Amino acid sequence: MKILVTGGAGFIGSTVVRRLLSAGHRVVVADLLTYAGSRANLEAVADDPGLAFEAADICDARAIGDIFQRHRPEAVLHLAAESHVDRSIDGPASFIRTNVDGTGVLLEAARAHWRALTAPARDAFRFVHVSTDEVFGTLGAHGRFSEASPYRPNSPYAASKAAADHLVRAWHATYDLPTMVVSASNTYGPRQFPEKLIPLTLIRAVRGEALPVYGRGENVRDWLHVDDHANALLAVLERGAAGRSYCIGGGCELANIDVVRTLCRLLDEASPRADGLPHESAIAFVADRPGHDLRYALDSSRAAAELGWRPRVRFHDGLRDTVRWYLDNRPWWEAILRGGAYGGERLGLASDGPEAGQ
């Protein structure tokens, strides 16, 4: 199968691309290579004959239409997005442009392509849109979000993804385009851009800097390893039903402070501080993010029942491997910090302080 992957040079996208190629699929990556996307993320498969790369903006209707016409994909995995909540607080316009307008452009290009296919190919075509648990808002101490949960986004990022979800569902209901929506929980693993909690904490610890934690660190997230996320998307692509939505959670709920402390203990073993103090001694509680959702958790029972998918990577094992990857690949993240796209500064409060987080 030939699959168009938007955002395929990003953190999750590049993992999906490698997984697709290893499964024998042909892949066309469309990525604008903004600050969080890099050809370096695809270096391991750069010479694979099954990979084609297109530097393209999903908001550019002419460019996207040309990609569909030249490559004739049999499916689309739509991962291209602005994805960091703090950045959306500082600058929501780019989130609306990419996540809403870009999704609309892509849907229209996919619809024109799909309508021109012959009947068997039209029946097999799929458009998988990758969303987030943040569209559902916040949970209290109990319960989990499911595919039936109402949408209550509380950040510009979440609102832009919610709008994209609604567009995808509307194109199915109105035009019969065979779309699916995947709402995934907090994803972690190698090659994640340093603005997110785990890589940022890890890098700051290695550099001997303070480890900022929002509020008291009590916000709870459901943690999903990037390999499990990629496998879930393949399962949706291969076995999902058109018009269906799927929640993909890691089944591992942890407060942010517990994630940071676990990370510190792993670093105490793998990269001790020069002063002999535990890395946890550098934790600093900072002003909370505006509108910070208290808790996310997803019910993945539909994905288990209909797709046969379940998360396989235990959090502690996945986090240990992630620590090892960042320690072994310092040039990757040092280049990002030197390049000026992001230097570890706090985002989302319109301040110039050094803190940052997820």
Active site residues: 133-134, 157
Q: Are strands 253-255 and 220-225 parallel, antiparallel or unpaired?
A: antiparallel
User: Distance between CA 292 and CA 287 in Å, rounded?
Assistant: 11
Tokens linked to 169: 């569902």
DSSP 8-state code for residue 295:
B
Residue 329 has a CB neighbour count (10 Å cut-off) of 13
The helix or strand, by DSSP H or E, that contains position 76, with its residue range, turns out to be strand 75-78
- Rounded to whole angstroms, the Cα distance separating 227 from 184 reads 13
CA distance 65 to 61: 6
Nearest 5°: CA angle at 136, between 135 and 137?
Answer: 95
Comparing CA positions, the residue from 9, 12, 10 lying closest to residue 231 is: 12
Decide: 12 and 130 in contact? Cβ < 8 Å: yes
Token pair in block for residue 340: 């000026």
- The dihedrals phi and psi of 320, each to the nearest 5 degrees, come to -60, -45
